[in-house]
Amino acid sequence: MKKFYLTTPIYYVNDEPHIGHTYTTILADVLARYYKLLGYDTFFLTGTDEHGAKIYEAALKNNMDPKSFCDTIVDKFKSAWQSLEINYSRFIRTTDEHHEKTVQLILKKIYEQGDIYKANYEGLYCIQCERYIPDDELVDGLCPDHNIKPILQREENYFFKLSKYKEVVYNKILSGELEIFPETRRNEILGKLQLKLEDISISRKHLKWGIPVPFDQQQTVYVWIDALVNYLSGIDFFNISLETLDMKHFWPCDLHIIGKDILWFHAVIWPAMLLSAGVELPRKILAHGFFTVEGKKMSKTLGNVIRPKELLEIFGVDATRLLVLSSFPVGSDGNFSIIESKEKYNKELADNFGNLVSRTFAMLSKYFNNEIVPTECSSEMKHTIYEAVNSYKSFFAELSLDKIPDAIFSLTSYANKYVQMKSPWIVAKEKRKDELISILSDLLYCIKASALLFYPIMPNVTKKIVESFNETEYTEFDYKKLLEEKTITIRNHKFKPVDILFKKLK
Ligand code: MSP
Q: Residue 184 in contact with residue 77, Cβ under 8 Å?
A: no
Q: Which residues pair with 347 in a beta bridge?
A: none
The predicted pLDDT at position 146 comes to: 86
Distance CA 106, CA 222 (A): 13
Q: Residue 30 in contact with residue 4, Cβ under 8 Å?
A: no
Distance CA 416, CA 355 (A): 8
Looking at residues 210-234, what average pLDDT do you find? 97
The predicted pLDDT at position 245 comes to: 75
Query: Is residue 329 reached through a cis peptide bond, with omega within 30 degrees of 0 on the bond before it?
Result: no
* Beta strands at 212-213 and 216-221: parallel, antiparallel or unpaired: antiparallel
Query: How far is the centre of ligand 1, averaged over its atoms, from the C-alpha of 22 (Å)?
Result: 10
Question: pTM for the whole thing?
Answer: 0.96
Cα separations (Å) of 498 from 297, 365, 370, 450?
A: 41, 10, 11, 15
Q: Any idea what the Cα angle at residue 50 is, between residues 261 and 21, rounded to 5°?
A: 40
Asked if the model's pLDDT at residue 397 lies above 80, the reply is: yes
All structural domains of the chain with their residue ranges: 338-485
Nearest to 78 by CA among 47, 32, 45, 51: 47
Asked if the model's pLDDT at residue 399 lies above 80, the reply is: yes
Looking at residues 33-62, what average pLDDT do you find? 97
Asked if the model's pLDDT at residue 295 lies above 90, the reply is: no
Q: Residue 479 in contact with residue 463, Cβ under 8 Å?
A: no
Q: Residue 275 in contact with residue 168, Cβ under 8 Å?
A: yes
Distance CA 327, CA 498 (A): 28
The predicted pLDDT at position 93 comes to: 98
The question of whether 146 is a catalytic residue gets the answer: yes
Query: How far is the centre of ligand 1, averaged over its atoms, from the C-alpha of 23 (Å)?
Result: 10
The question of whether 377 is a catalytic residue gets the answer: no
Q: How much of the chain exceeds pLDDT 70, in percent?
A: 99
Question: Class of 338-485 per CATH?
Answer: mainly alpha
Given 129, 253, 377, 446, the catalytic residue: 129
Nearest to 288 by CA among 31, 78, 34: 31
Asked if the model's pLDDT at residue 374 lies above 90, the reply is: yes
**Ligand 1, from 6, 7, 12: best to mutate by most atoms within 8 Å of Cβ?**
12
Q: How much of the chain exceeds pLDDT 90, in percent?
A: 92
The question of whether 206 is a catalytic residue gets the answer: no
Looking at residues 331-343, what average pLDDT do you find? 94
Q: Count CA atoms closer than 13 A to 428's CA, side-chain side.
A: 13
The predicted pLDDT at position 457 comes to: 98
Distance CA 328, CA 335 (A): 7
Query: How far is the centre of ligand 1, averaged over its atoms, from the C-alpha of 9 (Å)?
Result: 7
The predicted pLDDT at position 244 comes to: 65
Q: What is the mean pLDDT of the chain?
A: 96
DSSP 60: H
Query: How far is the centre of ligand 1, averaged over its atoms, from the C-alpha of 261 (Å)?
Result: 7
**Ligand 1, from 21, 185, 290: best to mutate by most atoms within 8 Å of Cβ?**
21
Put the strands of the sheet holding 296-297 in their side by side order: 296-297, 291-293, 334-336
The question of whether 126 is a catalytic residue gets the answer: yes
DSSP 329: -
Q: State how far Cα 260 lies from the chain centre.
A: 13
Nearest CA, atom 5, ligand 1: 9
Asked if the model's pLDDT at residue 243 lies above 70, the reply is: no
